[in-house]
Structure 1
Amino acid sequence: MKIEEELKVKKFTNDWQRATVNVLFTASWLGLVLEKRAAKKKITLQQFNALRILRGQLPEPTTNNLLRSRMISNTPDISRLVDRIVAKGLASRAKNRDDKRAVDLFITQKGLDLLEEMEDDMLLMDVLPSNINEKEAAKLSSLLDKFRGEIAENEK
């Protein structure tokens, strides 16, 4: 469905305005879809993201700071997020050998199993391939990278 129909807008000022509104609307829509899917497994989208980062670091440990720096969305209270995934048995903590103040984080087998179970659903494999082909997905990703790169440079 076109963005004009979704928002019941007759006309945008120009294509740049339409693109901006479309990106914002789609990001919000996508976030809601993914939150609902994660909730079915009794975790949040941020917890899912944290588990993916922990898995990507294996066999190396992850610290809270590294986790915070790689999260997709801003997560001010990373300690509470970590507390929750540890309490669910999806991650574990260990003391850092080199820095007594630091804590090493590892994904548990339970966390790995949960990610494997959720992966296709969270990557929208039931939606994306039926709406856009792989070449279109690559082009969309490339355009979003280009768009974000310009904004990032101007906002530093």
Structure 2
Amino acid sequence: MKIEKIIKTETALPLSKKVVINLLYTENWIMDKINMVLKPYDISLQQFNVLRILNGQKEKPANLSTIQERMVNKMSNTTRLVDKLIKKGYVQRVTCPSNRRKVEITITKQGKSFLDKVSLEIEQFENQVTSKFSEEDLILLNNLLNKLRSTN
């Protein structure tokens, strides 16, 4: 469906405005769908992202700034996200006894098990949402999005 129909406008939009509106609308559409996948697991996309980051550390602890740097959504409150994941038993935080400012965060076995289960559903969603595209389309779309971000 065309973006003009979705936003219910009959006004001809300049192409650059149309692209930006379409990107924003599509981002929200994808976020809504991902949140529906994650909702039964009582986890937010940002929390899921933290688990993926920690899992990608390959048993090596991370600190809050490392997690923040690797977050997809840079506006996330990393401390709060980690605190919520600790309460769920998915991550652990260890404070260095000799330097109380040094905090190391790792994913727990329970967190890995949870991540494995949820990752399968997220992967199914990603495959479903991109199923209308060929591999060439996906490569082109990725390249165009990378090019878009490189303009600033």
Q: Which runs of 5+ in 2 are unaligned?
A: none
Per the alignment, do residues 109 and 23 of structure 1 end up closer, same or farther by CA in structure 2, a change over 3 Å counting?
Answer: same
Q: How many residues align structurally? A: 151
Superposition map of 1:27-42 within 5 A: 27-42=27-42
- Structure 2 residue 106 is the aligned partner of structure 1 residue 113: no
- Structure 2 residue 33 is the aligned partner of structure 1 residue 47: no
**Partner in structure 2 of residue 149 of structure 1:** 150
Q: Percent identity between the aligned chains?
A: 29
* Cα displacement string for residues 17-54 of structure 1 (whole angstroms, at most 9, x for unaligned residues): 11111001111111111122111111111100110110
Deviation at 1:11, TM superposition (A): 4.3
**Partner in structure 2 of residue 137 of structure 1:** 138
CA distance in 2, matches of 1:17, 1:2: 14
* Cα displacement string for residues 48-81 of structure 1 (whole angstroms, at most 9, x for unaligned residues): 0110110111221110111111111134532111
What amino acid maps onto 1:95 in structure 2? T
Q: CA RMSD in A?
A: 1.9
Per the alignment, do residues 12 and 79 of structure 1 end up closer, same or farther by CA in structure 2, a change over 3 Å counting?
Answer: same
TM-score of the superposed pair, with normalisation by structure 1: 0.87
Superposition map of 1:6-155 within 5 A: 6-96=6-96, 99-123=99-123, 124-150=125-151, 153=152
Secondary structure class of the residue paired with 1:130: coil
Q: Is the 8 A contact 1:120 1:126 kept in 2?
A: no
* Cα displacement string for residues 112-131 of structure 1 (whole angstroms, at most 9, x for unaligned residues): 11221122322424523432
Q: Which runs of 5+ in 1 are unaligned?
A: none
Q: Is the 8 A contact 1:64 1:79 kept in 2?
A: yes
CA distance in 2, matches of 1:24, 1:129: 17
Q: Is the 8 A contact 1:47 1:85 kept in 2?
A: yes
**Partner in structure 2 of residue 4 of structure 1:** 4
